């Protein structure tokens, strides 16, 4: 048997008055998701603990059955997925160009991502480094306009805070060490020096004098977050005994899967979320060489970030139309376990980026029980047979419903892996 795990990124939400105090998922017309709910075992899912908002990279890391202590950091993972050459000892941070103004000896964020032309970007790239101090070198790698990565070489540490305050009107954050190591203290100190150097260098630059004349905000700082560096990770196959494949459209997931040894089909998002998801489901259905296939769409999350619940409802309805393929083709295969859920909730109102509520979960196949749930949403799934599932429990459930779960107490390998048969050493007749 095999599992096809469909992640509708950011699907969960809050109730909105414009939707008669329903979530976008509750308000949406979703006959196919609802049909899956009637055919399977339902519940709620949270990759961590209820009430804790999680980012997509951490949520997926936990969904795939890894622990927070093992996480390499999003900066590193996304750089790998973006095909940036990174040395194993280098530290990588996500970053983007910002506009700041000086106020009370602080740098106040006034524009997160100011519009920047190709010619302005070329000038900007010439001015931002590399920068070297205390045997540490900082360089900026542009990937998409003013977005990119800060790569730190030398005796650096990833145990540092962000500098990005996220919300406009707040001062940039002074980078601080997260542990007592000399490397963390030095990395934080040099990064802060770099930001001061960058601000002073750019603020008086003719580039920003020209933008001032045009009444445009300056491009005079980089804001950083989510530092990371390479860490050894147990391959997904060794941890769960499943040959993994991911079908997704963002370097974050490509990099994460590369680091845990899962293969990837690298897709691109179009303006048609229904068509995109249907094609990914078709590819998953045909990927018979794999035991675990991750299918991802970012569209519910993107819609929620517009802070328009009606728009998110429309996107959900488009994705539900794509799920017709799953209802008509996948669930009739007795060798397929179909799992549909989300990685986190993304509220389509308010100030939070993500929120900490649970998301709906359904498992459909020959082994899951059938409960009485008839609608797939954040409220109805509460009454399902799965209850509340957290963290790597989802992987244990997948093994269980694939008939691959090892009876606790049996030992066929020195490592107590959760699946059977384990990758054990056969007894031979010609040696010890």
2-71+233-401 topology per CATH: Alkaline Phosphatase, subunit A (3.40.720)
Specify the DSSP class assigned to residue 421: S
CB-neighbour burial class of residue 160 (10 A; exposed 0-12, middle 13-18, buried 19+)? buried
Report the side by side order of strands in the sheet with 41-46.
Answer: 263-266, 244-248, 292-297, 2-8, 336-341, 359-364, 41-46, 387-390
What is the C-alpha separation between 301 and 12, in angstroms, rounded? 9
Owner of token pair 């997925």: 81
429 three-state secondary structure: coil
What is the reported pLDDT for 145? Answer: 78
CA dihedral for 405, 409, 411, 415, sign (positive or negative): positive
Give one word for 145, left, alpha or beta, with left for phi > 0 and alpha for psi -120 to 50. Answer: left
Written as six digits, the tokens of 287 are: 């990927």
Q: What are the structure tokens assigned to 148, written together?
A: 């990119």
Q: What is the pLDDT of residue 431?
A: 75
User: In terms of DSSP bridges, do strands 2-8 and 336-341 run parallel, antiparallel, or are they unpaired?
Assistant: parallel
CA distance 407 to 102: 63
Measured CA to CA, the distance from residue 269 to residue 277 in angstroms comes to 9
Asked whether the bond before 417 is cis by omega within 30 degrees of 0, the reply is no
* 23-53: b (≥16 Cβ within 10 Å) or e: bbbbbbebebbbbbbbbbbbbbbbbbeeeeb
pTM for the model stands at 0.94
pLDDT of the residue at 307: 97
The two three-digit tokens of residue 11, written as one number = 């699907």
Element (H, E) at 255: helix 251-259
CA distances from 19 to 71, 77, 127, 300 (A): 38, 37, 49, 16
User: For residues 88 and 76, what is the distance between their CA atoms, to the nearest angstrom?
Assistant: 10
How far is C-alpha 248 from the chain's CA centre? 11
Given a contact cutoff of 8 angstroms between Cβ atoms, the answer to whether 112 and 168 are in contact is yes
User: CA 378, CA 325: separation in Å to the nearest integer?
Assistant: 23
Give helix then strand counts, H and E, for the chain. 14, 14
C-beta separation of 109 from 169 below 8 A = yes
Distance CA(167)–CA(164), nearest Å, equals: 8
Distance CA 293, CA 4 (A): 5
Q: Which residues contact 209 (CB under 8 A, 6 or more apart)?
A: none
pLDDT at site 410: 94
CB contact at 8 A, 348 and 308: yes
**What gap in Å lies between CA 303 and CA 282, rounded to an integer?**
24
* pLDDT number for residue 144: 84
Strand pairing of 136-144 and 292-297? unpaired
Among 179, 92, 177, smallest CA distance to 141 is for 92
Crossing angle, helix 206-213 and helix 118-127, to 10 degrees? 150
| φ, ψ (nearest 5 deg) of residue 246 | -120, 135
Domain parsing of the chain, residue ranges: 2-71+233-401, 85-228
Q: Which residues, in sequence order, are CB contacts of 211 under 8 Å at separation 6+?
A: 120, 217, 218, 219
CA distance 302 to 55: 13
**pLDDT, tens digit only, all 432 positions of the chain:** 999 999 999 999 999 999 999 999 999 999 999 999 999 999 999 999 999 999 999 999 999 999 999 999 999 999 999 999 999 999 999 999 999 999 999 999 999 999 999 999 999 999 998 999 999 999 999 998 789 999 999 999 999 999 999 999 999 999 999 999 999 999 999 999 999 999 999 998 999 999 999 999 999 999 999 999 999 999 999 999 999 999 999 999 999 999 999 999 999 999 999 999 999 999 999 999 999 999 999 999 999 999 999 999 999 999 999 999 999 999 999 999 999 999 999 999 999 999 999 999 999 999 999 999 999 999 999 999 999 999 999 999 999 999 999 999 999 999 999 999 999 999 999 876
């Amino acid at each position: 048997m095999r599992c096809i795990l469909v992640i509708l990124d950011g699907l969960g939400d809050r109730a909105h008055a414009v939707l008669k105090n329903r979530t976008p998922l509750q308000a949406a017309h979703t006959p196919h998701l609802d049909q899956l709910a009637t055919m399977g075992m339902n519940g709620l899912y949270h990759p961590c603990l209820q009430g804790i908002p999680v980012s997509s990279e951490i949520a997926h890391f936990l969904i795939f059955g890894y622990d927070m202590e093992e996480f390499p950091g999003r900066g590193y993972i996304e750089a790998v997925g973006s095909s940036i050459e990174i040395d194993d000892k280098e530290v990588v941070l996500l970053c983007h160009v910002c506009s700041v103004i000086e106020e009370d000896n602080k740098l106040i964020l006034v524009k997160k991502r100011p519009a920047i032309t190709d010619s302005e970007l070329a000038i900007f790239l010439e001015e931002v480094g590399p920068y070297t101090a205390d045997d540490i070198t900082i360089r900026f790698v542009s990937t998409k306009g003013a977005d990119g990565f800060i790569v730190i070489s030398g005796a650096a540490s990833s145990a540092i805070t962000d500098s990005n305050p996220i919300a406009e009107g707040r001062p940039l954050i002074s980078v601080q060490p997260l542990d007592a190591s000399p490397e963390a203290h030095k990395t934080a100190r040099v990064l802060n020096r770099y930001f001061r150097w960058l601000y002073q260098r750019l603020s008086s630059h003719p580039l920003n004098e020209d933008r001032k004349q045009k009444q445009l905000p300056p491009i005079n700082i980089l804001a950083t977050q989510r530092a990371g560096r390479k860490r050894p990770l147990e391959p997904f196959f060794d941890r769960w005994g499943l040959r993994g494949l991911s079908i997704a459209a963002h370097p974050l997931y490509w990099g994460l899967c590369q680091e845990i040894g899962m293969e990837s089909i690298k897709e691109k998002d179009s303006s048609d979320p229904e068509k995109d998801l249907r094609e990914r489901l078709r590819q998953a259905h045909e990927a018979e060489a794999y035991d675990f296939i991750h299918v991802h769409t970012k569209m519910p999350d993107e819609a929620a970030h517009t802070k328009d619940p009606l728009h998110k409802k429309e996107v959900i309805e488009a994705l539900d139309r794509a799920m017709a393929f799953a209802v008509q083709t996948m669930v009739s295969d007795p060798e397929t376990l179909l799992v549909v859920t989300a990685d986190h909730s993304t509220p389509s109102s308010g100030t939070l980026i993500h929120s900490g509520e649970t998301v709906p979960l359904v498992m459909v196949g020959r082994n899951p029980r059938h409960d009485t749930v008839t609608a797939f949403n954040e409220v109805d799934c509460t009454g399902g047979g799965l209850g509340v599932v957290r963290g790597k429990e989802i992987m244990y459930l997948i093994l269980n419903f694939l008939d691959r779960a090892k009876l606790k107490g049996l030992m066929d390998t020195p490592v107590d892996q959760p699946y059977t048969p384990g990758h054990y050493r056969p007894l031979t007749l010609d040696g010890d």
